[in-house]
Structure 1
Amino acid sequence: MTGTTETAYAKVNLALHVRRRRPDGYHDIESLFAFCEDGDGLTARRRDDGAILLRIEGPFTEGLEAGEGNLVVRAARALQAATGAGWGADLLLTKNVPVASGIGGGSADAAAALRLLDRLWETRLGEEQLIALGDPLGSDVPACVASRTLVGTGRGDALRFVAGDDLAGMPILLVNPGAAVATGPVFGAWDGVDRGALNAVDWRAGRNDLADPAMRLAPMIGAVLDALAALPGIDVARMSGSGATCFALFAGERARDEAQAVIRAAHPDWWTMASRLR
């Protein structure tokens, strides 16, 4: 389908510290979010009748429904309701990244829909208002609307932008062993120990507090982390979000691409994506 396009940039939690379980059932976290240059793709054509029609294609469509419950459709409806826009859209979502994989997924898709339709419908809300619209759709949606380096606190929705970071352009390799890991059970398996605050300046000294509970639920995550740690030229290797996708940062693209070739040869059934941070 030809039309206006937008990338749903894959989200990476460079560090994720879980501080406490809140009375509302969520957890207070501190995370440094970064975003890849690549991810799912979204294309839209404007309709005059207000209808929102979504089609999904790509390698990761299994189990996804394209009706009113899809986050892309919900994001479109939220923008219509907030602006009174009478336009609709034919939408094509190309799922390039695994579902339930700790790298944004549906949240990034919803955020891309908000950005894309704000342009297509000329509603011109701007980033701040789009972030507010994204908040009820999910904890990661506000960060994904911005899709640039930032610190998230609270549920991950209280955002502070990081100025002058040195991450833009850094080569990154994402690896998923083919395991879909639901966020709720991973948080539920967290041991409740507060291991301290995130230092966004020295984030390499940080951690992902969900890695151990995720590995108990999906032991293959440990195999991915071991495989990444054994690669030459890595800067940091860590799990993103609640898993199962892990990442490694590299000093150069050649080292990243050679690492991807090694992983693919050893584990042809694992999904990989070579990209750069935005």
Structure 2
Amino acid sequence: MHHNPITIENLSYAYPDGTEALYQIDLSIHATERVALVGANGSGKSTLLQHFNGLIIPQQGTVVVGELAIAPHTLTKIRNFVGLVFQNPDDQLFMPTVWEDITFGPMNQGLRGGCLADRAVAAMQSVGLDPDKYSGRSANNLSGGEKKRVAIAGVLAMQPQILILDEPSAQLDPRSRRQLIHLLDSLPLTQLIATHDLDLALELCDRTIVLNHGQIVYDGQTEQIMSNADLLEEYALEMPLSYSRPYCLLEHAPAA
């Protein structure tokens, strides 16, 4: 693994209507690091994520994954290296059965036969899905948490070294969310997690990056930003429950 699996220098991006989505982003992600990417809606999180596996090609600046700069001729190699899990699993699950969804990626990598089956079974087991129970089912009939696990398994079956997740806990019930946190915590991969769920960021990530209007306004320890009520309010972020409860209790405590 390259020491800095992702390095971004002077990255800027504007939409066709001229709206600037990212402005002069400089960023390095280290091997096996788990980093939270947070910010209000429209801050540029999803646009930045889509640069990491070449869904968006840099207009200005460079994005280097491993030792490859993202460009049209490097996309195949980079997409084998970087796995992207979309916010809505329905955007990734389109085959008739769970097994076909999970084997779709590695088949496109050229795997067949026993190697393909072994890869798919291992990916399913790693996310807590029983291959005998789930392989023949349609993703349409699964719960939100189960769909999310199938989507992650499909990415893991391609054996990426970097996992990019866009709002992984969105629309999950508390039990599914807890299972997701345990899963992500168990994966020995470099992870970049874009999320509004600051409690999840606090549990999983030692480092947090805050985007505001397409610029990095904070890059540092997660606990430090999460305990700073003024900074969170400035960037329209909600303080995690684990930090806000004591403040709520103090605010409503009876006078001595």
So what's the TM-score if we normalise by structure 2? Answer: 0.29
User: Larger radius of gyration, structure 1 or 2?
Assistant: 2
So what's the TM-score if we normalise by structure 1? Answer: 0.27
Q: Which structure dedicates a bigger proportion of its chain to strand?
A: 1
